[in-house]
Amino acid sequence: MPHPILSTTIAAYLLMLSATWINAEPPSVAKWSIGEPIVTYWAGPGADKPLTQQQAAQVRAGGWNLGWARSITDLDILHDHAMRGMLVIGTPNIDEPEQAKALGSLIEQAREHPALYAYHLVDEPGAGAFPKLGKLVAFLRQHDPAHLAYINLLPTYASDGQLQVSDDTAERARVGYPQDFAGISTDDKTSLRYREHLRQFIETVQPELISYDHYHFLRNSDGVQYFLNLALIRSAAMEAKLPFLNIIQACDSPAEGWRGPNENEVRWLTFTSLAYGAQGISHFRYDIGMWEDAATPRPLYWAVSQFNRDFLAMARELQPLTSLGAYHCKTVPLGAQPLPPGSAFVPDPPAQDVLLGCFGKSDNNPTHVVVVNLDYRKAATTVLTGPGPMEQFHAPTRSWHTEQEGSRVTLRLQPGGGALVRLRQ
């Protein structure tokens, strides 16, 4: 799980600000919306130290579009590089007048800044913190509804003590539990606790985005809950009509027993997130996986730079649509769903290790599909059949190319790679 962000207390940080807060309504009533899909990072430039121009230039060149800030000066630098900024504010107690006043002062200074996109509150809170966070989010929304209050959630493999969901409250998660998640029943304690954790978060905090982390690549094996976590997050986001963001692994951690993912594995994480409907990704950790310093990117940086651009281009195409399903066509991992009989889009032959993420404007009418090669060790060629003539999206030029095979399209997928196809328009 993410290493806690090194930070001073909110009170100490805000003492540096000279403005006096006046309890006033925000100048605009515009509400936050996701806008351009999010490509960000964890534990990198601006997260725990002042940002520099050189660092911001490296991040922007790598295709990330949301950086971290700890001051108005950091936001200025991000704006210089056409980036959005997430301002770290922590979790001040707004029931304390001085802390509320200091936070209000910061909001007044920051909310009109052209780079401001979000306020970062906290990482991986337990359910016991949700009431306080709900108050803080409501305060931020009252004084600055145009910017996101960002909170990141725990993964499914978090302990009971971390999730802070008791057995009796977890029982409530049985109601309406999906019946078609592979290997999961309504008696599965992990899923019940996590689903209840999500329910409490959405109900109590009233977020505008669901963000979570899950680190899949272990030292000598892969985890078993990656797709279960994706499915539970997707289900909760769909029900609440919220976008979601997946923090994906981009470094090793000997203490946690993780291996460092290679280029193919990060590609796999990127495209599986997209196929399940993610409108944002974040890389953990930038400072270990992506650079030696501001002048020296690591080899993984160059590969991820392309993945970032591909994700952004494809997610933008999918943004007006609804995620209708994510289906596994051969091996169906824990928590995932098999391709239903009679599906509009089907690989030929059908038993191939691919993932189909289906999208459309109405429930029964998928028009777009993200096809992912679930083998991150070798490339694959697959034929996709559909209900009519199809086009394939070319991410580098952000253009659609008409296929010449009619209702069939041949896709050559890199290890862990993906392609976006739609019915011809």
Q: What is the DSSP string of 358-384?
A: EEESSTT---EEEEEE--SSS-EEEEE
Coil/strand/helix, residue 395? coil
Q: Are 246 and 282 in contact (CB under 8 A)?
A: yes
Q: Are 358 and 325 in contact (CB under 8 A)?
A: yes
- For CA atoms 37, 43, 48, 52, the dihedral sign is negative
Same domain, 260 and 345: no
- Quick check: is 345 in a domain? yes
User: Which of these three, 286, 319, 352, is where a domain ends?
Assistant: 319
Please state at what angle helix 72-80 crosses helix 53-61, rounded to 10 degrees: 50
Give 383's contacts (C-beta < 8 A, 6+ positions apart).
347, 348, 408, 409, 410, 411
Residues 215 and 202 in one domain: yes
Measure the CA–CA gap between 293 and 40, rounded to whole angstroms: 18
Q: What is the reported pLDDT for 421? A: 98
What's the CATH code of the domain at 139?
3.20.20.80
Task: Kindly state whether residues 337 and 268 are assigned to the same domain.
Answer: no
Same domain, 344 and 270: no
Q: Establish if 82 belongs to a structural domain.
A: yes
Residue 178 confidence (pLDDT): 62
Whether residue 229 contacts residue 212, with contact meaning beta carbons closer than 8 Å, is answered with yes
pLDDT of residue 76: 99
Q: Provide the 3-class DSSP secondary structure of residue 48.
A: coil
Q: Secondary structure of 64-106 in the HEC alphabet? A: CCEEEECCHHHHHHHHHCCCEEEEECCCCCCCCHHHHHHHHHH
**Domain end point (choices 319, 334, 350):** 319
Of 60, 139, 47, residue with least CA distance to 93:
139
Residue 8 placed within a domain: no
Give the torsion sign (CA, 21, 129, 192, 151): positive
CA–CA gap between residue 184 and residue 177 (Å, rounded): 10
Contacts of 389 (CB under 8 A, 6+ apart): 402, 403, 406, 407, 423, 424
Distance CA 320, CA 318 (A): 6
Residue 385 within a domain: yes
Q: Are residues 139 and 285 in the same domain?
A: yes
Do 227 and 354 fall within a single domain?
no
What pLDDT does residue 182 have? 73
Question: Where are the alpha helices (H) located in 246-372, listed in sequence order?
Answer: 263-275, 286-289, 299-318
Q: Is 284 helix (H, G, I), strand (E, B) or coil?
A: strand
pLDDT at residue number 177: 57
Instruction: Provide the residue range defining the domain that includes 74.
Output: 28-319
pLDDT in 10s for each residue of the chain, 425 residues: 544 433 333 333 333 333 333 344 445 569 999 999 999 999 999 998 889 999 999 999 999 999 999 999 999 999 999 999 999 999 999 999 999 999 999 999 999 999 999 999 999 999 999 999 999 999 999 999 999 999 999 999 999 999 999 877 776 656 555 656 776 765 578 899 999 999 999 999 999 999 999 999 999 999 999 999 999 999 999 999 999 999 999 999 999 999 999 999 999 999 999 999 999 999 999 999 999 999 999 999 999 999 999 999 999 999 999 999 999 999 999 999 999 999 999 999 999 999 999 999 988 899 999 999 999 999 999 999 999 999 999 999 999 999 888 899 999 999 999 999 999 98
With 0-12 CB in 10 A as exposed, 13-18 as middle and 19+ as buried, what is 22? Answer: exposed
pTM beyond 0.85, yes or no: yes
238-239-242 Cα angle (round to 5): 55
Number of domains composing the chain: 2
Domain boundary at 319, 347, 363, which?
319
Helix 263-275 vs helix 226-240: angle between axes, to the nearest 10 degrees?
A: 30
Claim to verify: residue 185 and residue 265 sit in the same structural domain = yes
- Residue 23's φ and ψ, nearest 5 degrees, are -70, 90
Residue 33 and residue 337: Cα distance in Å, rounded? 30
